[in-house]
Amino acid sequence: MSKLAQLRELRNSKAKEANDINNKYPADQRMPSAEADRMDAILAEIEAIDGDIARENRRAQLAADDTTAQHAAALNAATRTPGAHGDESRALRAFMAGGISNMGDEDRARMLARQTPDIRNAMSTTTTTEGGFTVATEYQRSLEIAMKAFGGMRQVAHAIRTGTGAAMNLPATDPTAEEGEIVGQNAPVTGQDTSFSNLAINVFKYSSKKIALPFELVQDSFIDIEAYIQSLLAMRLARVQNKHFTIGDGTTQPNGIVTAAGSGKVGTTGQTLTVIYDDLVDLEHSVDPAYRSQPGVGYMMHDSSLKVIRKIKDSQGRPIFVPGYEADAMINGGAPDRLMGRPITINQHMPVMAANAKSILFGQLSKYTIRDVMDLTLFRMTDSAFTLNGQVGFVGFLRTGGNLIDAGGAVKYYANSAT
């Protein structure tokens, strides 16, 4: 078992113990001092373990940021038994080894069927000897699952897929002020038109940046080259997309959820680096109950903001943060980290606490909609810049966009004070 797995297992056991203590006392009952002290000690242990986990993750992150380490990590996870190739897997491997001309007629036909006319027309030629490889649905689905592990936005957002990148407006309404009426016998009903606003989800073309692989790796049947490329694509594409889905400017980038959210609470003077319990109560109640009762409601913040919040207690002396734990053989189910009873999504692209920073989001986060256009297109490059180094180059393109589809304030932010 790796060090990181051991740390997570230890944290799970401590978090379960903290939850058991917390659940013994309802919200209107003060926790006995002995239990409160025990709870504080457990939470301190969890915080120390989280520090160890953060350092271990940071070490892995630094390694992952290095191109050589990225390739090594993906390579270690991509070894497989020779011959364990499905039809689409073999087709992708054939493309990587020798381009589209290296694929069989049936494989080329299946790939062309996945391309819409506008994509085929955009290729340098309509023959099957040039152009990009449009991946199979199963490969795209696996890529999207892998991308969810990076950042947090794809974990909470609503995702849709469209066949083209044409302009797309989605209607949004504010349902908080609408209601019915009582009518008398034979009396007419009153009309009330719903006011719609149109919110655009524009798409942008994302690149994985070039991936250079040695000839030997592409030709080695012991290496699952498709999984190897997939892990690198997920790592690179997911990080930049998560950043833009979070804080994108809405002009040259997707409209980020922080950019689109409304103001819920601004900290008082002196809270440039802090938030207090009352601020979080005000933030929650700045979102209409019509949204607060819906699925997908919770908090989103940077890990450093969570560190500040973990030290806050309510009027009964109970921590407002309750650590979660993962499901395993010893614990039935599992539970996410919760803040005031709401789930927390950690997103490292959220602003950290600073003057005027929009550091905490609360609301129906699933109102954010991500639009993916078709599937990933992979290009193979064999120009002299690669050939002279004994390499084949690959680059992946994925078109996507996002916006908060809401007109009634489903998501609000807490902003730290200016001074």
How many independent structural domains does the chain possess?
Answer: 1
Question: What's the domain range around 261?
Answer: 87-171+196-302+347-419
Does residue 206 sit in helix, strand or coil? strand
Is 96 part of a structural domain of the chain?
yes
pLDDT digits (tens, 9 = 90+) for 20-71: 888 888 777 788 888 888 888 888 888 888 888 877 877 766 665 555 555 5
Confirm if 98 and 68 have CB atoms less than 8 A apart.
no
Work out the angle at residue 380's Cα, subtended by the Cα atoms of residues 400 and 91, and round it to the nearest 5 degrees.
Answer: 90
- Four-point Cα dihedral 65, 302, 145, 323, nearest 10: 120
The strand pair at 262-266 and 211-214 is best described as unpaired
Kindly state whether residue 138 falls inside one of the protein's structural domains: yes
Residue 319 lies in a domain: no
Q: Enter the tokens of residue 31.
A: 């926790």
Query: In this predicted structure, what is the pLDDT of residue 403?
Result: 96
> CB–CB of 182/391 below 8 Å?
no
What digits encode the pLDDT tens for the residues 156-179?
A: 999 998 878 887 877 776 666 677
Report how far Cα 117 is from the mean position of its chain's Cα atoms.
31
Task: Please check whether residue 47 lies inside any domain of the structure.
Answer: no
Residue 211 lies in a domain: yes
CA 351 to chain centre: 16
pLDDT given for residue 196 in this prediction: 64
**Residue 34: C-alpha distances to residues 30, 31, 314 (Å):** 11, 8, 17
The dihedral through the CA atoms of 325, 326, 329, 332 has a sign that is positive
- pTM (predicted TM-score): 0.69
pLDDT at 361: 98
79 is a domain residue:
no
Q: Whole-angstrom Cα distance, residue 339 to residue 320? A: 6
Cα–Cα distance, 323 to 327 (Å, whole number)? 13
* Domain contains 261: yes
- What's the CATH number where 371 sits? 3.30.2400.10
User: Would you say residue 335 lies in a domain?
Assistant: no
Which residues does the chain have with pLDDT short of 50? 75, 77-85, 117-131, 133-134, 327, 329-332
d(CA 225, CA 245): 29
